[in-house]
């Protein structure tokens, strides 16, 4: 029984991998169950058995892609000790092309999910869960950085909301082929925005340098002088 379950899960994983690739390439509107089945080397009936409808394939394919992204992110962030470097690496991973699940290559799935979420409660539920997890991941890094004295004491949840919204908007432009918004430009804008909000210096290098801060008393004194002038 366990062997049968393992085989079934392995087959389902193959179909999810196929769905991610096909939907990313064609968009959901031009994807048929038969296309996913062909890419996975399965029958259309088996795909329907596992996922019921094409919209459910979309939600589960995107969740699958995101899980693989988090698995990779956890491995890479575990090798980085400073929260500042962890945040920058997380942004880098989100702006990559050709590096597997979770990067810009699979953003076509998000475009389809956003288009369907207002009209499909199941898709809307999946969207909320995925976005909440992403913002929570960013906010947790920010809180660790604040505890370590690397980041300013901003509202971590508010920062996560703003950064994720900025990344979403720029990613759409990259995926749509806007000539003014490349993946490299997206990385630069997002990282520089994070640096300005959280108070660390970033010059475009792979690893940031801390921006020296004046003592709190000196900063307060400077603010008073500025107001007085």
In a domain, 193, yes or no: yes
In a domain, 165, yes or no: yes
In a domain, 196, yes or no: yes
**Residues forming a β-bridge with 201:** 209
In a domain, 20, yes or no: no
pLDDT in tens, 140-181: 999 999 999 999 999 999 999 999 999 999 999 998 899 999
pTM of the full structure: 0.76
Range of the domain at 144: 61-204
Q: Indicate the number of domains in the chain.
A: 1
What is the rounded distance in angstroms from the CA atom of residue 8 to the CA atom of residue 72? 24
In a domain, 86, yes or no: yes
In a domain, 93, yes or no: yes
Query: 128: number of CA atoms within 13 Å, CB side?
Result: 8
In a domain, 114, yes or no: yes
pLDDT in tens, 67-124: 888 888 888 888 888 999 999 999 998 888 765 555 677 777 788 888 888 988 888 8
Please report, for the domain that includes residue 86, its CATH number. 1.10.357.10
In a domain, 15, yes or no: no
DSSP conformation letters of 13-67: HHHHHHHHHHHHHH-GGG--HHHHHHHHT--HHHHHHHHSSHHHHHHHHHHHHHH
In the predicted structure, residue 204 carries a pLDDT above the cut 90: no
pLDDT at 208: 39
Residues composing the chain:
229
What is the rounded distance in angstroms from the CA atom of residue 157 to the CA atom of residue 53? 35
Higher pLDDT, 225 or 77: 77
Please choose, from the candidates 117, 76, 123, the residue with its C-alpha nearest in 3D space to the C-alpha of residue 100. 76
What is the rounded distance in angstroms from the CA atom of residue 87 to the CA atom of residue 183? 17
Classify the C-alpha dihedral 9-28-44-48 as positive or negative: positive
Q: Strands (DSSP E) along the chain, which ranges? A: none
């Amino acid at each position: 029984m366990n062997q049968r379950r393992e085989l079934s899960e392995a087959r389902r994983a193959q179909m999810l991998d196929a769905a991610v690739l096909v939907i990313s390439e064609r968009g959901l509107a031009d994807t048929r169950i038969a296309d996913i089945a062909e890419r996975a080397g399965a029958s259309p009936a088996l795909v329907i058995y596992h996922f019921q409808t094409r919209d459910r394939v979309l939600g589960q394919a995107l969740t699958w892609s995101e899980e693989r992204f988090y698995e990779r992110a956890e491995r890479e962030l575990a090798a980085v000790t400073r929260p500042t470097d962890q945040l920058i690496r997380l942004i880098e991973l989100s702006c990559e092309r050709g590096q597997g699940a979770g990067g810009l290559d699979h953003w076509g799935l998000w475009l389809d999910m956003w288009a369907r979420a207002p009209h499909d409660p199941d898709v809307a539920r999946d969207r909320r869960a995925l976005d909440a997890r992403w913002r929570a991941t960013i906010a947790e890094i920010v809180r660790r950085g604040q505890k370590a004295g690397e980041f300013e004491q901003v509202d971590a949840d508010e920062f996560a909301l703003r950064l994720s919204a900025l990344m979403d908007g720029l990613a759409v432009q990259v995926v749509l082929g806007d000539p003014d918004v490349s993946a490299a430009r997206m990385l630069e804008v997002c990282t520089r925005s994070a640096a300005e909000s959280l108070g660390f210096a970033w010059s475009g290098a792979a690893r940031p340098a801390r921006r020296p801060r004046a003592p709190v008393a000196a900063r307060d004194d400077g603010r008073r002088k500025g107001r007085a002038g």
